[in-house]
Structure 1
Amino acid sequence: MTEGATQGGRDFFVSYTQVDRAWAEWVAWELEAAGFTVTVQAWDMLAGDHWLAKVDDAVRGSAHTLAVVSADYLDSDWARAELLAALRGDPLSRGRTLLPVRIADVRDRGLLGSMADIDLFEVDEQVAREQLVTAARAVRTGDRGKPEQQPAFPVRETGGARFPGGGPPQVWRMPWPPNRCSTPTSTARTSSCPTAAPISSTGNWLSGVVPSTTSRSTSTR
């Protein structure tokens, strides 16, 4: 817990870029609905306010900074300045001062790259809400992420590797028609069955199929 929280400040300061304002307002709304206190530029920094002074007050007066991380956020110098300000009193984030929340599949090679985050993209709204609120509670209380209910026993999915002794798959057990040409004396043998080539005296069966080059007549001019 940071100084801002112990002196009656807000729980979270939501840091974002204007491109991601819709995400920031959704996050702020869900956090306040869950009982947290929030500062967000869209609602708390209005016309006539000194923006830099208000941001500085928000970072100082909040227990945690929640970063709404996207490609635009990572490219923003102002966002980087807010991150550095958030970690000023807790550079290793031992008090979980900084909570990165990814809204896009991007990774930071700098400051945020070594910090655990939560993902809100590619999930439905209910899952995103649960993940956000659960992470916020763990950050504020310093608790672990242990669930309240016992996890279900993992069940092996079907369609995996086949074990020995299970027999061949059904696609191998095909009803092949009988071979009518298997025996020379078969009554079902037809004229369409191929005739085996005779074996020559040399023992090479190919000699009965491929004409010998030595047997060809040559013409003289």
Structure 2
Amino acid sequence: MAHPHAQDSPDKDFFISYARADERWAEWIAGVLDTAGFAVAFDLRDLPAGRSAVQWMDDAIARSERILAVISPHYFDRRSFVGAEWPTAFSDRRRWDGRIVPVVVEECEAELAEHPLLGHLTPLRLTGLPEGRARTELVARLESSRAARYPGFGGGQGFRGGQEIGGDQGFLTGQGSGGDQGGRPDPRADRRRAECFRIGPLRTTWRLVEGDGEEAITRENVRLSITPEFVELPEEMAAWRDEIAAEQAERRAKGLHALWNGKCYAVEGLGVSRTVGEEAPEVCLRLRHADYYTFLATQQLDRPFADGTTPRGRYLSAEDPEDAPAFMSCSFGTNVAVVTHDHQVVFSRRSNRVGSLPGLWSSSANEALSRDLDARGRTPPDLYDVAKRGLAEELNIQPDEYRIRLLTFGIDVELQQWGAFFIAELSRLSAAQLGERRTQGVPDRWEHDHHEYVPFDVDTVLGHLLSEDRRGLWTPGAPGLFYFALVNRFGKRTVQRRTAALLRRLDLGGRPPFPPAAP
């Protein structure tokens, strides 16, 4: 590889660097990134016939924002062209700090630690993970580094196209999910995930906090308690927020698209009790004031502080995600599973215009809790009304056209984002009529680019969630949402029995055909 040329406006997010022995891994990673909405330079498919491979590689690196290195012992083999060329090709370490993403697919601790450019970086480790979780980890970590460039929040307020906030400092030099400050696997992170929702090989980072889907949580039993004081950021994170505000003001002055600093809430905690007699769940959600720029600053989870620690390592290291400070939890979203009158459930795919997990399949509709849109004077917001707003804005469904129930509360332990799951059953609209309704205009049409209608029965929905071509393409909360919707309709025992039978029939007891075999 020759030294990369300077390029003012890279048109690729990642150049994939790998040894030929890991070609299948590189191809799998490229496919995952493509689906998630990243622009990827990958020689196996992009190198034109007849062109010099060295020249193409030189140009592709120059056009790429970051380099993703597929790390295994093969990568450091002196017979491997790529391994031998690293010290020469990237001799200017300062130029590439924060722009190299090491993804470990086979352990090689000693070689990695001794490498002059890679040794000081925190790698993302896919070793030993089932395919679904590997997909989720890969996309979530890379989204974390891209969040400042394509900001997104809760229900998806962000558009693609924002400039990068925070310069070249990405997650690469700080603590990543599942690692300590030195990049070693962190058992506390594994314990945080141990209680997360999973079905056989389908593993998520969504942790259930209250509810099981069978018994709905009534509107009367949900109370929001608001402290009308703004969360206070640590000094360094406050400076990150100031960077964001200054950049957006500059973009606005130039007539460019700028992100609106919407008013939102930070979650201080969630308390659960039971009513006397019926022992129905009662939930108290404690909130403080926050805003979108604060959310963006705190979502730079792997950006290093001056002392080398990161927000993830400093504030999210406890085993219980509920122990995190309120300023790290500046998001609460409602997610709804919509079932049509002719018994079809709606799956929605997030468009590439949203900043939060683009290209992944999600709930039928989702909406973030907003102080601008949901506050009612001195009366706290109503989560049922927030969910209804999402149904109206994303699917053009009005409140008198469905019955809605709140099923569960939970948190994505990877991104520290809270949410509630609902089911809405349409009283008159069929799947065809709902599709037609969307063609007549919806306010937030840009948030989703595709919808699927799947028969709402246990085997079909679970089969859809577990299908090999879809298993790694769900947002963290989506599998749990649709599972608990099934529980609400068919009962817990029935869903559990059908799930076990389906896993046996599909031979999916938690062992997907992964990792990719060597060529």
Q: Give the 5 Å matches for 1:189-208.
A: none
Please report how far the alpha carbon of residue 17 of structure 1 lies from its aligned counterpart in structure 2 after TM superposition.
1.2
Partner of 1:65: 67
Q: How many residues align?
A: 146
Partner of 1:55: 57
Please report how far the alpha carbon of residue 77 of structure 1 lies from its aligned counterpart in structure 2 after TM superposition.
4.0
RCO higher in 1 or 2 (8 Å CA, sep ≥ 6)?
A: 2
Within the alignment, does 1:135 sit opposite 2:141 as a pair?
yes
Match of 1:144 among 294, 298, 301: 301
Partner of 2:115: 110
Give the AA of the match of 1:106.
C
Partner of 1:18: 20
Matched residue of 1:114: which SS? coil
Partner of 2:32: 30
Flag the 1:86–1:36 CA change in 2: closer, same or farther, 3 A.
farther
Flag the 1:43–1:49 CA change in 2: closer, same or farther, 3 A.
same
Please report how far the alpha carbon of residue 105 of structure 1 lies from its aligned counterpart in structure 2 after TM superposition.
1.0
Within the alignment, does 1:81 sit opposite 2:85 as a pair?
yes
Please report how far the alpha carbon of residue 84 of structure 1 lies from its aligned counterpart in structure 2 after TM superposition.
5.2
Larger radius of gyration: 1
Give the AA of the match of 1:110.
H
Gaps of 5+ in 2: 1-5, 149-169, 171-299, 303-311, 313-414, 419-519
Matched residue of 1:113: which SS? coil
Distance 1:7 1:125 in 2: 33
Flag the 1:100–1:83 CA change in 2: closer, same or farther, 3 A.
farther
Flag the 1:77–1:48 CA change in 2: closer, same or farther, 3 A.
closer
Distance 2:93 2:142 in 1: 20
The structure carrying a bigger strand percent of its residues is 2
Give the AA of the match of 2:115.
G
Distance 1:25 1:123 in 2: 17
RMSD after superposition? 2.4
* Equivalent residues of 2:17, 2:82 under 8 A apart: no
Please report how far the alpha carbon of residue 89 of structure 1 lies from its aligned counterpart in structure 2 after TM superposition.
6.9
Q: Give the 5 Å matches for 1:210-221.
A: none
Flag the 1:25–1:105 CA change in 2: closer, same or farther, 3 A.
same
Q: Deviations over 1:42-62 (max 9, x none)?
A: 111143111000000111110
Q: Deviations over 1:70-119 (max 9, x none)?
A: 101111242342575357473461xx210000000112222222210011
Give the AA of the match of 1:133.
V
* Equivalent residues of 1:68, 1:103 under 8 A apart: yes
Partner of 2:9: 7
Give the AA of the match of 1:22.
R
Partner of 1:218: none
Please report how far the alpha carbon of residue 131 of structure 1 lies from its aligned counterpart in structure 2 after TM superposition.
1.2
Distance 2:87 2:129 in 1: 26
Flag the 1:14–1:31 CA change in 2: closer, same or farther, 3 A.
same
Larger displacement relative to structure 2 (78-87 or 98-107): 78-87
Q: Deviations over 1:152-207 (max 9, x none)?
A: xxxxxxxxxxxxxxxxxxxxxxxxxxxxxxxxxxxxxxxxxxxxxxxxxxxxxxxx
Matched residue of 2:129: which SS? coil
Larger displacement relative to structure 2 (82-91 or 108-117): 82-91
Gaps of 5+ in 1: 151-221
Flag the 1:106–1:97 CA change in 2: closer, same or farther, 3 A.
same
* Equivalent residues of 2:30, 2:40 under 8 A apart: yes
Matched residue of 1:90: which SS? helix
Runs of 4+ in 1 over 2 A off after TM superposition: 76-92, 138-143
